[in-house]
Structure 1
Amino acid sequence: MSDALRLEALYGDRLVPCYADRPRNLDAMLRASVAARGDAPALEDGEATVTYRQLDRLADRVATGLLARQVKAGDRVALFVGNRSEFVVLLAGIWRLGAIAVPIGVRQSAAELAYMLDQCGAAALVFDASLAERLPPRAQIAGVHCLVCIEDAGTAEAGHADASTYTALLADGSDTPVQADFADTQPACIMYTSGTTGHPKGAVLSHLGFFHTARHYVGRFGYTADDRLLLTIPGSHISGLLAVVVVSLQIGGCLVLQRQFNAGDTLALIESRRVSAAVMVPAMYNLCLLHPDLPKRDLSCWRIGHFGGAAMPEVTIARLAEALPGLALYNGFGATETTSAVTLTERGDAARKPDTVGTVVPCVDIRALDAEGREVAAGESGELWIRSPGNAIGYWNNPDATRTSFVAGYWRSGDIGSVDAEGFVRVFDRIKDMINRGGFKVYCVELENVIQRHPGVVEVAAVASPCPVLGERVHVFLHATEPVDPEAVRALCRRMLADYKTPDFVTVSATPLPRNLNGKLVKAPLRAQAREAADRRNVLPLEKTS
């Protein structure tokens, strides 16, 4: 497949470089892998294996089964489904039909699920039987006319009075090939962003965007059809869906599914299934490093370790290099709105340039602009504006948010970062997350990376604490596997950083820090705790406290 690029007008007002040589849509991409890898394993889920030829047949069954239930091209099909082979089969069938998949995290509440189903106007909902109790009352989702339940093993019941079974969906379908004849600028997914305020927005992601970003992963990491990719982060999250599921289908590789991350189980699975690549957040790598089984496992097959969603502390990178010398670590930066990564590191960059998220991938342009909308000099910080073929078409049924966020062909990320003279991108913080301590800017990521060096620290988050004198002070929350002295943490920061970056308050938690439904650490609850603590402190603003 040629790497030649051409400019294409997309979605009305965007002029974006795209690969000229590409499949018509994601279904055509899958069919190419079926033709090349028919009898090779596409999915491994527990003891069950699905070959590419079987996946192709099942996709036809899902597509025609949905048609029999009055679900048509352009309709939204919500997937309240965990990491299991049926999730991938359903995606393939939905895309073959020309419908729009709406993956929803399995930890969502009934109220959140009801909002998303209503907001996107879902015609169908497929759900795990184990999640039936968390479905909204039928009256709240009356617009969903098709309910399908994936039965638990050994049962034939739908688990919901109004639902048919997944087995019945397949049985009502046919093996007659469905022709997916539509352009790749059509929507493939609506993925709801994990916003911290108000309702989430539904980012509309195209077939074109999924293909391009997956191809960038393949090119940068050197994936081949022999690779075996582990899905242990949620497939309903953009990183799991794009960087694992779609990448695996594009290369004709084997996707190994794990229902839920557990460090010991994950290490055992990597060994037993000869996994060659995995995508995890930094905290998962830390938990693997701390697990007593790590030195006992033969992990020589594991050659690619991708991470994102947070910076990888330098100490973790060094420990991984010592424990797993054959594992190449890759960082990346992206968002739901960009269909995952717009920058990726090269091999060795994670250790050589640990403060960067790599360089832009082909077809992508990133600019750092100041608050007045002017591009800043190389290396200087500003808001990162991103142009990419992976940029969302917009937000579903939310024109105001679309106009605000997508400007002149670029998506405004809301992240503070820089692009240096060599093209390396650094992400310092979210605009709203930066702490302004008496006029001095404290970038939380920098501080968190230093504290991560402290023995026993698994994860750390810095947030602003309101202060009547300085405006904001620094409150750090950390989770550790052994007792941590707050004063020792401050002493470490004083040795490594400017004095104004030293935490004013340190809270050590015996439990992991809060994460959203996609597994990313969330700071909103921690900010609330910091505000409550500040309100309780009836002391002089600069009094020493832990």
Structure 2
Amino acid sequence: MDKRAAAAPVVENWPAVSLEETYRTLTAPGAPFEMREEVIRGVPLRTYANALNDLRQVFDLGRGWGDREFIIYEGERQSYGAHFRAAGQLGRVLHDRFGVRKGDRLVIAMRNLPEWSLAFWAGVSIGAVVTPLNAWGLGDELAYGITDSGARVAIVDADRLERLAPFVADLALDGLISVRSDTDHGTGAIPLDHLIGPRDRYADLPDDPMPDPGLHTDDPATILYTSGTTGRPKGALGTHRNVLTNVISIAFNNARATIRRGDPLPAPDPDAPQRVNLLPVPLFHVTGTNSMLIPTVMAGAKLVLMHKWHPERFLELVEAERVNSTTGVPAMVWQVLESPDFARRDLSSLDSYGYGGAAIAPELTLKFAELFPWFKPGQGYGATETSSVSIGNSAEDYLRRPDSVGLAVPVCDVKVVGTDGQELPRGEAGELWIRGPNVVVGYWNKPEATAETFTDGWYHTGDICRIDEEGFVYLLDRAKDMLIRGGENVYCVEIEDVLVAHPQVMDVAVVGLPHRILGEEVGALVQLRPGADVTEEELIAYAARLLAPFKVPVRIDVRREEFPRNASGKTLKPVLRAELVARHQAEPAGRSGAS
């Protein structure tokens, strides 16, 4: 156990119900999380008997919420009825005008805007494979996502349109639709308002049905890009079943805590006040789409969008909108708890705050529990490849084990595997593998990468873990050459490729520097070519011209001596990281020459 977990509080009279009995109670025939076995792509898996078939059914649920308020964004407020009439109109336009059919890819590239949701529901409801792109990406990165996915149509906001403009002529698009943009930047993009009308007239649109694509639950629904070790992202191809399995798994984690406590599950209350969810993370991430947007619509709740993360704005919105539930990465939670506005805001409406996406210090969990004594925190573990949640820890179980990411949801199997591919005994450290109906098909048009990462339905996470005798999973390290800055995956190879291309640089090692709020920052060490001379500042400026801002190193150690290597010639990154961390802690940034 992580020594930091020693401070975990003692939870009296816990548990009232064993894990075995809890799972049996919740998954038995007739229970809310009843399971059945199905063969999916040749692999027998447990599935939820009560899962919906496809996302078109969720769209229809959204239409049925009528005049309930749905999306709140920077003073704009849209009802379910208005929003889903507009989504239906957009779906008909995509089908009739642009020829989008079942299986065609539809790119969405924008920040958190109400139009993101419109595009998503329009696309999935006519059978398109919705392909969100990282809004932080540069123009060539966005163009790569469009080209790699083979998208027929892209819907982009003003900033993304400007970034894409130099590349549009080379993209094989049948349609480019702009959102909230005053100019087309020479691209010929068609404003969304010209296709479906202005936002203030959505409620007047006809509620005509979209074409029915005849969806099967295992049809493709999304391509969500996840950074790859080659420096270019890989598109994880998710199905309707993958996405809708995740919705039920989220609900299971709360139900498990209730039963463990000895309480009955609450009965549905049709007269309960409408819940309010706040989304501070990007919709283009699996958490934003699969774990926030879709469950919100299924529950008929409100969704408050943040265009850009800012802790004081977050606290303002929680108070003003009486937010009940939210999520975030640990860096965001730290910033909220330590904000100067924390003590003066009324946060009493908040009763659920889940977090994940990066390593979570037990201190954060314990501090959170101290500052929010009226409810218990929770965290989830998953990946783009698992459609979000596969493992979860919450309430008293979490307080007992704040250093564990929790237990697998009932439809998922987990195991720890050694370097020989064989399962290791409980308690031993190895790579975590996950199998279940939430695991994606594979990587879009990348059969070799798929074969390396998926085996007989098992997803190789690349995380080094151990599992205790009760089944609680503990993350120990990452096998992948990756660091996480504020919840954003940063793959070292991409940055190394940029720096090593500098004419004065011979070799590069990119490593993570610890940061209390962000978790990690990007650091680098470079070995110069003989006779070369370049400063740290010059290399940082060089990287800033070629990389998205969150990927630019904050420290670069410039040296002339060769990097330490092992017997096979591989760079010993742990040694280099320790050296850079020591220097970073001892000296301010901004040294000017090679050592």
8 Å contact from structure 1 (residues 27, 180) kept in 2: no
- Call closer, same or farther: CA 1:57–1:9 in 2, change over 3 Å: same
Is 1:176 matched up with 2:202? no
Is 1:165 matched up with 2:197? no
- Call closer, same or farther: CA 1:476–1:410 in 2, change over 3 Å: closer
- Call closer, same or farther: CA 1:69–1:175 in 2, change over 3 Å: farther
Matched residue, 1:87: 116
8 Å contact from structure 1 (residues 234, 518) kept in 2: no
Distance 1:478 1:257 in 2: 30
8 Å contact from structure 2 (residues 146, 171) kept in 1: no
- Pairing partner for 1:188 from 213, 217, 221: 221
- Call closer, same or farther: CA 1:258–1:89 in 2, change over 3 Å: same
Distance 1:534 1:261 in 2: 41
Secondary structure of the 1:291 match is coil
Mapping 1:472-483, distance limit 5 Å: 477-479=513-515
8 Å contact from structure 2 (residues 165, 185) kept in 1: no
1:330 Cα offset (Å): 0.9
1:518 Cα offset (Å): 11
1:121 Cα offset (Å): 0.4
1:134 Cα offset (Å): 0.4
| Higher mean C-alpha deviation, range 355-364 or range 15-24 | 15-24
Distance 2:173 2:413 in 1: 39
- Pairing partner for 2:82 from 54, 75, 86: 54
Distance 2:510 2:194 in 1: 56
| One-letter amino acid of the counterpart of residue 154, structure 2 | L
Matched residue, 2:311: 263
- Pairing partner for 2:358 from 310, 313, 321: 310
1:42 Cα offset (Å): 1.9
Mapping 1:366-445, distance limit 5 Å: 366-432=414-480
Is 1:211 matched up with 2:240? no
Distance 1:272 1:343 in 2: 32
8 Å contact from structure 1 (residues 59, 90) kept in 2: yes
Matched residue, 2:53: 24
8 Å contact from structure 1 (residues 235, 241) kept in 2: yes
Could you state the TM-score of these two structures normalised by the residue count of structure 1? Answer: 0.79
Deviations 1:199-258 (A, max 9, x none): 111100111111111111123236988321111111101111111111212222111101
Matched residue, 1:3: 33
Secondary structure of the 1:137 match is helix
Mapping 1:80-479, distance limit 5 Å: 80-138=109-167, 141-152=170-181, 158=184, 160-171=186-197, 175-178=207-210, 179-221=212-254, 226-432=274-480, 477-479=513-515
Is 1:42 matched up with 2:78? no
Distance 2:421 2:37 in 1: 25
8 Å contact from structure 1 (residues 111, 136) kept in 2: no
- Call closer, same or farther: CA 1:424–1:310 in 2, change over 3 Å: same
| One-letter amino acid of the counterpart of residue 318, structure 1 | L
1:531 Cα offset (Å): 8.3
| One-letter amino acid of the counterpart of residue 255, structure 1 | L
Distance 1:480 1:424 in 2: 26
8 Å contact from structure 2 (residues 220, 237) kept in 1: yes
1:26 Cα offset (Å): 0.9
1:378 Cα offset (Å): 1.1
Secondary structure of the 1:95 match is helix
Distance 1:139 1:287 in 2: 38
Deviations 1:1-21 (A, max 9, x none): 85322222223x322111223
8 Å contact from structure 1 (residues 114, 136) kept in 2: no
- Call closer, same or farther: CA 1:403–1:432 in 2, change over 3 Å: closer
Secondary structure of the 2:101 match is coil
1:127 Cα offset (Å): 0.7
Secondary structure of the 1:294 match is coil
Deviations 1:399-438 (A, max 9, x none): 111122111111111111122111111111111469xxxx
Secondary structure of the 1:345 match is strand
| One-letter amino acid of the counterpart of residue 337, structure 1 | E
| Higher mean C-alpha deviation, range 178-187 or range 390-399 | 178-187
Deviations 1:113-153 (A, max 9, x none): 1111111101011111233220153555431120000124x
| One-letter amino acid of the counterpart of residue 236, structure 1 | F
- Call closer, same or farther: CA 1:310–1:530 in 2, change over 3 Å: farther
1:73 Cα offset (Å): 2.0
Distance 1:325 1:404 in 2: 45
Secondary structure of the 2:297 match is helix
**Overall identity of the aligned pairs, in %:** 30
8 Å contact from structure 2 (residues 165, 187) kept in 1: no
8 Å contact from structure 2 (residues 217, 239) kept in 1: yes
Distance 1:292 1:29 in 2: 40
1:340 Cα offset (Å): 0.8
Unaligned runs of 5+ in 2: 1-30, 199-204, 256-265, 493-508, 518-543, 565-574, 587-595
| One-letter amino acid of the counterpart of residue 427, structure 1 | L
1:329 Cα offset (Å): 1.4
- Call closer, same or farther: CA 1:533–1:272 in 2, change over 3 Å: farther
Deviations 1:46-89 (A, max 9, x none): 22222222233122101101112222221111111111111111
| Higher mean C-alpha deviation, range 257-266 or range 304-313 | 304-313
Mapping 1:478-517, distance limit 5 Å: 478-479=514-515
- Call closer, same or farther: CA 1:139–1:82 in 2, change over 3 Å: closer
Distance 1:375 1:105 in 2: 35
Distance 2:280 2:154 in 1: 23
Distance 2:278 2:450 in 1: 34
- Call closer, same or farther: CA 1:317–1:115 in 2, change over 3 Å: same
- Pairing partner for 1:69 from 98, 111, 122: 98
8 Å contact from structure 1 (residues 330, 349) kept in 2: no
Distance 2:333 2:561 in 1: 33
Unaligned runs of 5+ in 1: 435-443, 449-457, 464-472, 482-513
1:350 Cα offset (Å): 3.1
Secondary structure of the 2:208 match is coil
Deviations 1:515-537 (A, max 9, x none): xx999x87x958x9468597599
8 Å contact from structure 1 (residues 15, 409) kept in 2: no
8 Å contact from structure 2 (residues 414, 434) kept in 1: yes
Distance 2:83 2:512 in 1: 48
Matched residue, 1:487: none
1:314 Cα offset (Å): 2.2
8 Å contact from structure 1 (residues 149, 163) kept in 2: yes
Secondary structure of the 1:126 match is strand
Matched residue, 2:522: none
Distance 1:160 1:263 in 2: 37
8 Å contact from structure 1 (residues 302, 326) kept in 2: no
8 Å contact from structure 1 (residues 44, 257) kept in 2: yes
- Call closer, same or farther: CA 1:398–1:477 in 2, change over 3 Å: closer
Instruction: Give the CA RMSD over aligned residues.
Output: 3.4
